[in-house]
Structure 1
Amino acid sequence: MRRASTAMLLLAVTAGALTVCGEAVASPSAAATPSSASAPRTASAVPASGHQAGSSTLHMIKNHGHRLAFHVTSGHLPAIVLDAGGGNDSSYWKDLVPKLSAATGSEIITYDRAGMGDSDPVPGPWNVHAATDDLAAGLHQLGLNRDVILASHSEAGEIATYFARSHPTMVSGAVLIDASLPELYTDSEIARIVAATQPALAAAEADPSTQANRQLIATAESYVPMHKAYHHVTWPDSVPATVMVSEKTPFDGSPQDAQLWRDAATEFAHAGPHRTLVTAAGSSHDIPIDRPGLVLGEIEKMAATRG
């Protein structure tokens, strides 16, 4: 239970998953050129002249004084944003991006949240509203204001929920991949998670020198109030969503919590129109790693029907 809940606090971050690196960029010149605000995209957008299809270009986006790394693989609308779970950066999607680009022809965007990969750290407790604002700023500066599909894993489900609520006309649809959903966070479940995480948090506070421990501390500082508020947040009915839930969940070592995770996905799927529940049989919480074909297929479906 302690191991499962520690992972839950960062939403399925393991010691191995925390040691990650940024996604490769298309060329040194592309990596050195920050992006600036540009005109909104049109449905006929195509890869820039001279840009190899399937390769990505790094754009360093500025928001409230810090820089965020956005990796863009050129294509047409709808644009597909892949958002990794807690403790992972854009490299989490490195094997899926070229396949998704080839299958859909869509523009594919991955990015590093603040403090991850090539993005600047931001001091203080982790704040989902700031993270949502970072994503909005990045997409705006990349010229995207419509026809966006969110594919959000784990902790990124919280960002997707707030983003869809604040930009419902911008989001065409979402694929929520074993995502953290509001229905899970009853007062009793929050208390269970916090209590079980205390030993790991104490160890992190004793050695805050590593990125992993600093992230754990930052997440823990805001965890209770943020998730009490999140429990009352609803997904907008106008935005279709495919809800993918793993068989093993982040709580593979705790049957009670694993069932609550699956129940939350089911409740979310039944709570509004245009929602589909998909179970990834045999998969761990890392469905994009264990069942990449399933994830690819569901994103393709959403892009084909909602773009």
Structure 2
Amino acid sequence: MSRTSLKHRSTYRVLPAFVLLTLTAGGLTSCGDGSAAEPAAASKPATSSASPDAARSDASKLHMITNDGHRLAFHVTQGQGRTIVLDSGGGEDSSYWKDLVPKLHAGTGATVITYDRAGLGRSDVVTGPWKAESAAGDLEAGLEQLGVTKNVTLVSHSQAGEIANYFAKDNPEMLSGAVLVDANLPQFFTDEEIPRLVAANQPQVDAAKKDPQKPENRQLLSTAEGFAAAHKAFHEITWPDAVPATVIVSERTPLDGSPVDAQRWRDAAASFAEEATNRTLVTAEGSSHDVANDRPDLVLKEIEAMVAGQR
């Protein structure tokens, strides 16, 4: 279903923090005949748009947790009852949600948690390829160490959709629901689509290899390493039927430079939503991939509805 849109008020504040982190607004060029997309022009990879300490809520408390030898920063705004966990897209740290946290806390009374994934914000760098399974393990460990083991509403944007799928598969009893915000979903990563994404981003990957220690380049390279095999495996992940989910898909998608791939993105979201009766598809009309900033009203509404059990 679609919700009535408000006047579009934002531009591309961040590069779409999508699969390889660096697909820009026109990352895949139009391919009217359905053939492989042309490589995207090299551009600066997406990085966090704010410093780790920028605009933190006064009510938020920092907790450093340790998992598998590395430390991760969790920011907790304490509330009552349910817990909302916000997971940002690729290349973005927890400050991505800074404007939504106080509104969610005020509107729901719930505990609101954001965190910095490994290599972002205050969290330690972990070398080697980025693995959604490992990131899901970090999130699980962090929540358990914070004493959060149930009644979690997980909100995941873009690349964090991969973490959400692995987390839900392994921890369905912890989740009361999820809101997937223009998120990477298994249905999108087909044997036909994966090579298109790899080819489109190869120029950016090659450019990043010239300065691999630069933080944004490190993030890109770790995501690109083993990308095809990792996403072939991700394509096989199944979301648990017991966990309700709202799928918000942006009108313009992160792939609006390629009508073929943009439609596949929309189709993947629709397919995911159609697999169970407790899933709802919502279109963020007028929005780019940066839905939380383009349509914060919609994101807040859907999170609050999920927390209230109205989805």
Matched with 2:304 is 300
Matched with 1:44 is none
Please give the alpha-carbon distance, in whole angstroms, between the structure 1 residues aligned to 2:230 and 2:22: 14
Matched with 2:114 is 110
SS in 2 for 1:169: helix
Please give the alpha-carbon distance, in whole angstroms, between the structure 2 residues aligned to 1:272 and 1:71: 33
Larger RCO: 1 or 2 (CA < 8 Å, sep 6+): 2
1:139, CA displacement in angstroms?
0.1
Q: Which amino acid aligns with 1:260?
A: R
Q: Which amino acid aligns with 1:285?
A: H
Please give the alpha-carbon distance, in whole angstroms, between the structure 2 residues aligned to 1:262 and 1:208: 33
1:203 to 207, 212, 215: 207
Gaps of 5+ in 1: 27-52
Check conservation: 1:69, 1:111, Cα contact below 8 A: yes
1:186-242, CA deviations, whole angstroms, 9 ceiling, x for partnerless residues?
A: 111001011111111100011213111111111111211110001111100000000
**So what's the TM-score if we normalise by structure 2?**
0.85
Higher helix share: 1
Please give the alpha-carbon distance, in whole angstroms, between the structure 2 residues aligned to 1:6 and 1:95: 18
Q: How many equivalent pairs are there?
A: 278
1:158-190, CA deviations, whole angstroms, 9 ceiling, x for partnerless residues?
A: 111111111111100000000000000111100
Please give the alpha-carbon distance, in whole angstroms, between the structure 1 residues aligned to 2:256 and 2:210: 27
- Where do residues 100-179 of structure 1 align in structure 2 (5 Å cutoff)? 100-179=104-183
Please give the alpha-carbon distance, in whole angstroms, between the structure 1 residues aligned to 2:22 and 2:164: 15
SS in 1 for 2:229: helix
CA RMSD in angstroms comes to 2.1
Gaps of 5+ in 2: 1-14, 25-42
Identity of aligned residues (%): 59
Please give the alpha-carbon distance, in whole angstroms, between the structure 1 residues aligned to 2:17 and 2:248: 22
Please give the alpha-carbon distance, in whole angstroms, between the structure 2 residues aligned to 1:286 and 1:25: 19
Matched with 1:18 is 47
Check conservation: 1:12, 1:285, Cα contact below 8 A: no
Q: 1:23 to 1:270 in 2, by over 3 A?
A: farther
1:291 to 295, 301, 306: 295
Please give the alpha-carbon distance, in whole angstroms, between the structure 2 residues aligned to 1:291 and 1:158: 22
Alignment pair present for 1:60 and 2:64: yes
**So what's the TM-score if we normalise by structure 1?**
0.86
Instruction: List structure 1 segments (4+ residues) > 6 angstroms apart after TM superposition.
Output: none
Q: Which amino acid aligns with 1:18?
A: T
